[in-house]
Structure 1
């Protein structure tokens, strides 16, 4: 991963001739230095993940747009640090909101990741392979569920770049929080990206990823290692999520413990779907062969 210092918030940084990044001022333990909005194009634009409904970030985006036509406001997923800024931006630019499908979560369980944007309502949902284009650029939707059920990445065919949202980030592994997050889907989406030849990833958080295939292989290995840890702990009689997290995440910032618990639960649900473990209330155990 790139260890260079982050750019200041609100500053337009050209990453390559067709791509400009603006960092939102919403740094936190879950967003790292903040949400990164990417502008694609030169004479006309797509705005990827306009971020939170923040006055300073909105003003920075308008300065960067500088009156150019906005063809689309493109959303990777429906978390509150990615999509709420779309509504005001759409009103002021006239651009349609498109990308990830809307989602209504019926479960009221605990949340570790950014809250859902309950008001997210795209004008157009993009399915796998659908494209949005402008002068000299085209973005193709790549379905990458796992972090959320509706997560999309977007490939910029002209340069070999992939806007990876929160599926692959430049600073940490993605939180997979059931019921909307699904570990089996997340792993399958990583395998899908591993089979592609994208040159660089521009994530929603953290700096650009210049050797993406290497990172994706590392993420797959990391998740398989976590799965192995869980099975070993179950074999030792450690059968509840909090006890597993205590053993697996030594020294973790306590503010991130809820996220760790949700990811361990996601692994357990995936193992249960594969008939390797079973639940008895809040206790888990290995299925005897």
Structure 2
């Protein structure tokens, strides 16, 4: 791969929140051929800042996943710059079979805002390479936070979207998120031994391996907490979140979805059980 010639340019969107941290970071790499990674929200000021920074040289617009804070600005930026949008697929591409069934059964929402109308011009599969004289990027399918989530490897740096962040663990909200996929993707990144991870929210991760291992340990600890709580009393994801988490009420919905993701993964392993159809109000118990 072409070695990075310089640091990527960072442009921060004005959309801070408990889930986006300081806001969405759009990355620009290249000089004559500029790649825009995660164009962010459909915001006039943010899109204009991207265009000004690229100086009319945008050749590719790459999207890690179809959440509104990452992809909503892609279509308009594409029209303004005359550049194609590349991604894994539409908003539902890459969902695991169980998540597809849950979505069909009405389990939706509770996440960061699905960009339901997102439609890339070009599809990228795992391992696909996008190359110009300025740079080379390799697509990495890294589902977990989102079924069609992509990372982009730039030499020993990986633009990791929302899979990994330094300031928080990522939201895993079924049916968009899948804990089993997430753990596999985090382990895959660790196996690539990157020198640096660049999340779309928050600061760069300069020591990736310890952070990746911490995230895996965190999820295992959370699963153990959930199992311990279920042994005391069977409960729903909502009830368990209120018993386990100590967070601001605004974050309780996100906590409930994270707990549901753990419960679904534990049910697939046969560790917990439930009656009836799997849903947001299912009561779980130890198997």
User: Unaligned 5+ residue runs, structure 1?
Assistant: 1-14
Instruction: Name which of structure 1's ranges 110-119 and 145-154 shifts more when overlaid on structure 2.
Output: 110-119
Match of 2:168 in 1: 172
Q: Distance in 2 between matches of 1:20 and 1:185?
A: 30
Taking structure 2 as the reference length, the TM-score comes to: 0.90
Match of 2:107 in 1: 109
**CA drift at 1:25:** 0.5
| Partner SS for 2:69 | coil
**CA drift at 1:106:** 4.5
| Partner SS for 2:86 | strand
Given the alignment, which residue of 206, 210, 214 partners 1:210? 206
Q: Distance in 1 between matches of 2:5 and 2:285?
A: 50
Pair 1:57–1:108, CA change in 2 (3 A): farther
Match of 1:39 in 2: 28
CA displacement, residues 218-275 of structure 1 (integer Å, 9 cap, x when unaligned)? 000000000000111111114222221122112x011111010001000000010111
CA displacement, residues 100-147 of structure 1 (integer Å, 9 cap, x when unaligned)? 211346454352221111121111110111011222311100110011
Deviant stretches of 4+, over 6 Å = none
| Partner SS for 1:167 | coil
Does residue 271 (structure 1) correspond to residue 269 (structure 2)? The answer is no
Does residue 97 (structure 1) correspond to residue 106 (structure 2)? The answer is no
Match of 1:147 in 2: 145
Q: Which has the higher helix share?
A: 2
Does residue 133 (structure 1) correspond to residue 128 (structure 2)? The answer is no
| Partner SS for 1:26 | coil
Q: Distance in 1 between matches of 2:132 and 2:238?
A: 49
Match of 2:189 in 1: 193
Given the alignment, which residue of 18, 29, 40 partners 2:18? 29
Q: Distance in 2 between matches of 1:16 and 1:230?
A: 46
Q: Distance in 1 between matches of 2:260 and 2:90?
A: 24
Q: Distance in 1 between matches of 2:13 and 2:171?
A: 20
**Contact in 2 for aligned 1:18/1:42 (Cα 8 Å):** no
Q: Distance in 2 between matches of 1:185 and 1:255?
A: 26
**Contact in 2 for aligned 1:50/1:83 (Cα 8 Å):** yes
Taking structure 1 as the reference length, the TM-score comes to: 0.89
Q: Distance in 2 between matches of 1:35 and 1:140?
A: 22
Does residue 220 (structure 1) correspond to residue 220 (structure 2)? The answer is no
Pair 1:178–1:66, CA change in 2 (3 A): same
Instruction: Name which of structure 1's ranges 192-201 and 272-281 shifts more when overlaid on structure 2.
Output: 272-281
Match of 1:82 in 2: 70
User: Unaligned 5+ residue runs, structure 2?
Assistant: 93-102, 277-281
Q: Distance in 2 between matches of 1:60 and 1:103?
A: 26
Instruction: Name which of structure 1's ranges 163-172 and 111-120 shifts more when overlaid on structure 2.
Output: 111-120
Q: Distance in 1 between matches of 2:5 and 2:284?
A: 49
Match of 1:280 in 2: 275
| Partner SS for 1:56 | helix
Count of residue pairs brought into register by the alignment: 269
Pair 1:41–1:146, CA change in 2 (3 A): same
Q: Distance in 1 between matches of 2:242 and 2:117?
A: 36
